[in-house]
Each structure stands twice: as structure tokens, then as C-alpha cells.
Amino acid sequence: MNAVPHVVIVGGGFAGLWATRALASAKVRITLLDRGNHHLFQPLLYQVATAGLSAPDIAAPLRHILRGQRNVTVLMGEATVIDKTARRVQLASGDALEYDALMVCTGATHAYFGHDEWAPHAPGLKTLDDALAIRRRVLTAFERAEAERDPARRAALLTFAVVGGGPTGVELAGTLAEIARHTLRKEFRNIDPGSARVLLLEAGPRVLATFPEALSAKAAKQLARLGVEVRTGVPVSSIDAQGFVLGDQRVEACTVLWAAGVAASPLARSLDVPLDRAGRVAVEPDLTLPGHPEIFIAGDLATVKWGERLVPGVAPAAKQMGSYVARVLRARFANQPAPPPFGYKDYGNLATIGRRAAVVDLHGWHFSGYFAWVFWLVAHVFFLIGFRNRVVVLLDWAMAYWTYQRNARIVLGKDTMSR
């Protein structure tokens, strides 16, 4: 038998990749399994959706990132069932992986609050394919409006709604407004893209609810300045191919984007443990599955207490969980005492709104506007993986800043959805 323990990590996002890297010097055999071939820098995904960056700018092949780490085998494939008793992960290909320790970090997907019929009309943003589908819809809406003669239909084509006022919704709405007001200026002959309506719909009382109230108010003001109509306090009650209903008001809109609900990846169901409303797994303080110290859950898939609150579903939290799982495993395989329970270290909270507008909350030090935007930009480019990506992203942004142009305005693929 193989004396070296086999660690299977399902999911190559921030949690999985950080755990893998932190096990570089450990005497383990790691198999990192992911449905795609790449690690995705999700915080910039909205830039691909809004044609500011191209897909390869924010993604890198997992096996390239890990090429030097000899104890890792990267596999592209999909886990379908976890058999806790046999300690085996079943793959869609028919193969199976047996493990001594398992880490599940497959993240989250969109959730439509029980309204799955909204899904084809309001695509969400979690993968590069999602981003390219949103890009295609947004650019195609302007193209169709240019050819449309019926004024009502044209207005509907030029109405864009984003559901959900969290960071992703705010970023999408702010950037859509910038595209309409600036990027596409003077490029159309029959329509004025600047007349497009961009609505941001938040059922709760304010946008960016996880930020201090003063910053939420600043963000709402900056959104308004960019031309976004912010509607808070009223839930969306219906979405179809022609528009949506907000409270008792019907709005005709051909493009509705979903940035509201997330649900944990369905793989969690095969763990046969109680899940919370969003499908996440409540874990022990050391991120293991109750009763199964050999199974770890990390990233957006895990519900972890953080004082009165929960650890937020953000990239730094996923990285910290990944590194923590690696620490636990290293100690365990070296027969050393287990580290103290996982503690989330909050470095602050950033959200960008659009050109020269962002809000930053660093442990009580709050700022917004131009300086916050520069801070956000530097932080994000700094954390991007890969030298080339950083250079190209900076170049794209410098060009976009000076010219208002967006370099990835290319419609790819055919829209196989309802419109």
C-alpha cells in the first residue's frame, strides 16, 4: 500500500488552491479536482461580463500554477457523489478517487429563492461562461435596439436591471451605466445609448448591506451620479422574458441580471448532513464535518461562526480557510497537536462602484470616491495571479480610464437562452 496519505481536494477556487499550496512541503499525495481547467480570480469576473477584460486575463490553468509542486496531481472532472463510508469520491466520468482526507470547497451557485423559472431570464455571474453570456446579452441588447423601430420595444431593449444590491450588483450596475453613458457614445446612429436606463433593485433597506450605513449612503449617491436608478426596500416579485415586476410596478426590460441569491454547490447534498437554507454545511470549529474529522468543508460551501455573525463569503475568507485546513492536516499527519480552531481575520471590505468610485471599510477607517477606487484597483491587481495578467489588466484599465473604451466588447457564442 501507499504509505503517503492521499488528500483529495474538490474545487480549485481560493480555498482549494490555497490549501494545495500550503501543503507543498507536506508528505502527502494531493489530487486537486476541478470541473474547469482554471483557477478564476472571481473578484474581477464582473469586468469580463462588462467587456472590460478578456476571460484569460483573470484566469490561469490550475496545472500551470501548480506545475512545480510535485506532490499534486490536477484533474479536470466533476465529483458527483461523496461516499463517506468507503472514503471515496465518485466522478462523472465513472472513475472514483479514494481518500485519506477530503476537502470539499466547490463554492456557491445562483439561487432564485424558489423561482427557478426566473433563471433563463436573469442570468447570474459565477463562472467565466456566465460572464461571457452576460456580456453577449448586454452588447446584443444595444445592437437590437439600434435595429428596432418600435419605440416601446426599443425602450425595453435599453432598460437594464440588476437584481441584488451587494458588491456584485453594485459593480455590474455602475459599469453598465458607464458603458451606456461613455463607452458607446457616438457609436450608434438610431439610438442614444446614453438614454439607457440602468436599475439596481435591492429588496433590503440599503445597498452594500454588509458595509457601515454611511458607506451604503455614499455608494447610493455615487451610483446615482453614474446614472443608476437605485430602488431599495421593494422585492422583485416576478421576472419574465419581457421584464419584471417590482412591488406592484411592471417594468419592461430585456436584460435582467441576477446578483441576489447564492446557494451552495449541490455536491454538499451527497454528504448526507443537515444543510442551512442556502445549502451550506455547518462545520466544526476546525472546519471538519461533524463526526468526520477526515472531511473538511471550506470556502463558500461552509457555514462558519464568526462571533455573532458568519464568516462572509469573500475571497480572503476562503483563502484563510484553505490555509487553515492545510495547517490541520500537516499537524495531523506529523502527529503533532491540532492547531486552535479557525479564526477569521477581517482585513476590511472593499466594493467598487464604477469609474473613480468605490467604498472602502478598513476596521473603522472608511473612505469613498476616487482614492477608494485607486485603493480597490491596486489591491485587486496585486492579488491577481500571474505577472502577465497583472500587466495586461493594468494596461486595459489604463486604456479604459483615458479613452473610456472597453477592450473586450466582442460577442462570443450564440444566446441559447430565452432571448
The residues annotated as belonging to the active site are: 171
**Is residue 66 a contact partner of residue 24, using CB atoms and an 8 Å limit?**
no
242 lies in the binding site for its own copies (CB under 8 A): no
CA–CA gap between residue 280 and residue 6 (Å, rounded): 25
Give the residues across from 231 on adjacent strands: 201
Q: What is the CA radius of gyration of the chain?
A: 22
Interaction residues for its own copies, span 51-70 (CB under 8 A): 54-57, 59, 61, 63-64, 67-68
**Phi first, then psi: what are they for 90, rounded to 5°?**
-85, 135
Interaction residues for its own copies, span 95-134 (CB under 8 A): 95, 128-129, 132
Interaction residues for its own copies, span 384-403 (CB under 8 A): 387-389, 391-392, 395-396, 399
419 lies in the binding site for its own copies (CB under 8 A): no
- Alpha helices (H) along 334-403: 370-383, 387-403
HEC string of 295-306 equals EEECHHHEECEE
CA–CA gap between residue 254 and residue 140 (Å, rounded): 10
DSSP, residue by residue, 181-239: IIITTTS-SS--GGG-EEEEEESSSSSSTTS-HHHHHHHHHHHHHHTEEEEES--EEEE
Interaction residues for its own copies, span 141-170 (CB under 8 A): 143-144, 146-147
Rule CB under 8 A: choose which of 27, 93, 252, 374 binds its own copies.
93
Rule CB under 8 A: choose which of 24, 76, 234, 331 binds its own copies.
76
404 lies in the binding site for its own copies (CB under 8 A): no
250 lies in the binding site for its own copies (CB under 8 A): no
Q: Measured from the CB of residue 267, what is the shortest distance to its own copies in angstroms?
A: 18
Which of 128/236 has CB closer to its own copies?
Answer: 128
**Is residue 183 a contact partner of residue 404, using CB atoms and an 8 Å limit?**
yes
Q: Measured from the CB of residue 145, what is the shortest distance to its own copies in angstroms?
A: 11
Which of 57/300 has CB closer to its own copies?
Answer: 57
Q: Which stretch binds its own copies (CB under 8 A): 8-16, 33-41, 103-111, 164-172?
A: 33-41
36 lies in the binding site for its own copies (CB under 8 A): yes
231 lies in the binding site for its own copies (CB under 8 A): no
* Parallel/antiparallel/unpaired status of strands 108-111 and 261-264: antiparallel
Interaction residues for its own copies, span 263-322 (CB under 8 A): none
Which of 93/249 has CB closer to its own copies?
Answer: 93
CA–CA gap between residue 284 and residue 328 (Å, rounded): 13
CA–CA gap between residue 322 and residue 334 (Å, rounded): 18
Strand, coil or helix: what is 21? helix
409 lies in the binding site for its own copies (CB under 8 A): yes
Which of 9/59 has CB closer to its own copies?
Answer: 59
**Phi first, then psi: what are they for 40, rounded to 5°?**
-110, 130
411 lies in the binding site for its own copies (CB under 8 A): yes
408 lies in the binding site for its own copies (CB under 8 A): yes
381 lies in the binding site for its own copies (CB under 8 A): no
189 lies in the binding site for its own copies (CB under 8 A): yes
**Is residue 96 a contact partner of residue 88, using CB atoms and an 8 Å limit?**
yes
Q: Measured from the CB of residue 11, what is the shortest distance to its own copies in angstroms?
A: 16
Q: Measured from the CB of residue 323, what is the shortest distance to its own copies in angstroms?
A: 23
348 lies in the binding site for its own copies (CB under 8 A): no
Which of 64/305 has CB closer to its own copies?
Answer: 64
Q: Measured from the CB of residue 5, what is the shortest distance to its own copies in angstroms?
A: 17
CA distances from 194 to 177, 283, 373, 407 (A): 8, 49, 23, 19
CA–CA gap between residue 92 and residue 127 (Å, rounded): 20
Which chain residues interact with its own copies by CB under 8 A?
A: 36-38, 54-57, 59, 61, 63-64, 67-68, 72-77, 93, 95, 128-129, 132, 139-140, 143-144, 146-147, 186-190, 387-389, 391-392, 395-396, 399, 405, 407-414
